[in-house]
Each structure stands twice: as C-alpha cells, then as structure tokens.
Amino acid sequence: MQPPSSPPPGGYEPLRPDGAQAPPPPPGYGPPPQTGYGPPPQPGYGPPPQQPPGFAPHPPPPGHGLPPGAQYPGAGYAPGYAYGAPYGQPLKKRPGTVTAIRIITFIIGGIGLLSGLAATAVGVGGSLSEDFAAEFNTAEEPGYILGVGMVVLVVGALWTGLGVLAGRPGTGVMWTIVVAYIFSALVSLSSFNVVPLVLAVLVIIFAVSGTGKQFYEGRWAPYYQS
C-alpha cells in the first residue's frame, strides 16, 4: 500500500477521510485545460490563408509585383474570345454565302432607292414647274411619275431592310429571303432580264442549302461575329 502523500499511478486522486481513494470524476468534469502556454506562432510560417472562390487576389503594394502591362492569373478574359462564348471555342464568322446574300440584297435595295428618288424628284418637278415638265416630257403625267417613284422608293427601302435582316439567323429570315427572290425571279423572267434572274436563283440556292441553311437554322454556331 502506497503512502497517502505520494500520488497513485495515473495522476492524483483525492482521498476519503478513511484514507481510501475516491472514484475518478465522471467524463466532462474536472479542471479546464490550461491555455496560453507555449510560444506564439511566428508570422510568415505555415500555408497561406485560403481565399473563398470568386475573389481575385489582392494586388501587391506599390513597387512590388509584375511589370507594367502584365496581368495576374484569373484577370480578364482569354485573348481571341469574346464575352459570352464557351471557353476554348472561338467565334465563327458568318459564312460566305450569307455575306453574298447580303451584298446582292443591298445592291438591289440601293438601286431601288436611287431610282425611286430620281423618279420622285422628276414627278415633283413636273408638278411644280411647266418648264421642267416640258424639258423632261412629263407635262401630261407628272402625277403618275411621282406615284411610280414613291412606290419604287418604298420597294428599295424594303430590300435594304431585308439586307440588314439577312445577317441574322432564323428560319423565318431564310423563308422571307426565298419568297422575296422568287418574286424577283418572276419579275425578271417576265421582262427577260437575265442578270437579275441569275442573281435571284443564286440567292435562293445559297439560302436553302449548305452553310447558308446551317446559319439560318441556327446550326452554324451559337455565337458569331460580323
């Protein structure tokens, strides 16, 4: 038997008045652990603190960091890609067939606008001045020439708008182009104009086949640049 003055193995336990050892306290009781001992952590050691996702790293103080013109990792966008395009997928330009459709349509619209303006000017001049009407041989029908000029002007404006619309994808745009050029082909065939007839047939073929059809049906690319 060990004397009461020496602690038993495993630590000190209080003694009862009769000299017997008291049972150990239940779990969760006892003196709190001692804190504040040991050397404090030294700054500059250990792994750097982790930043939550979505935050860019803070720039270094003036006089430190990357040279002028350089960017930190994660800043900006990858070169050669526009905002909104999938990462790693370059933008596709409009196919050449769609560009050809737009150019032909703009030419037709421009011719219509110029012809309509000229006819409208002649009709207005003939209506306001007899000398002007006699010079252009429009003394008897200046109102008719004015009306024709205004109709041609409106048609030219519609063709110009179709040229703008032709650069956008959509099946409705494709069939609008087809219907407009079918009408143009019929007018050219009735007047035996070979060049407008050939251009109308080419535009119809470009719109309903190949890359032109892919573009208007939305299968060319989800993103494109002009």
The closest alpha carbon to 140, from 129, 126, 154, belongs to 126
Confidence tier at 180 by pLDDT (50, 70, 90)? very high
Confidence tier at 156 by pLDDT (50, 70, 90)? very high
How many C-alpha atoms does 219 have within 13 Å on its Cβ side? 8
**DSSP-derived 3-state class of residue 93:** strand
* pLDDT for 138: 65
End-to-end CA distance of the chain: 99
Report the alpha-carbon angle 101-105-107, nearest 5. Answer: 120
Whether the predicted pLDDT of 92 surpasses 50: yes
Q: Domain-by-domain residue ranges, the chain? A: 92-220
Each residue of 49-75: pLDDT tens digit? 565 555 555 655 665 555 555 555 544
**DSSP-derived 3-state class of residue 225:** strand
Each residue of 205-219: pLDDT tens digit? 999 999 999 999 888
User: Per-residue pLDDT averaged across 135-162, rounded?
Assistant: 85
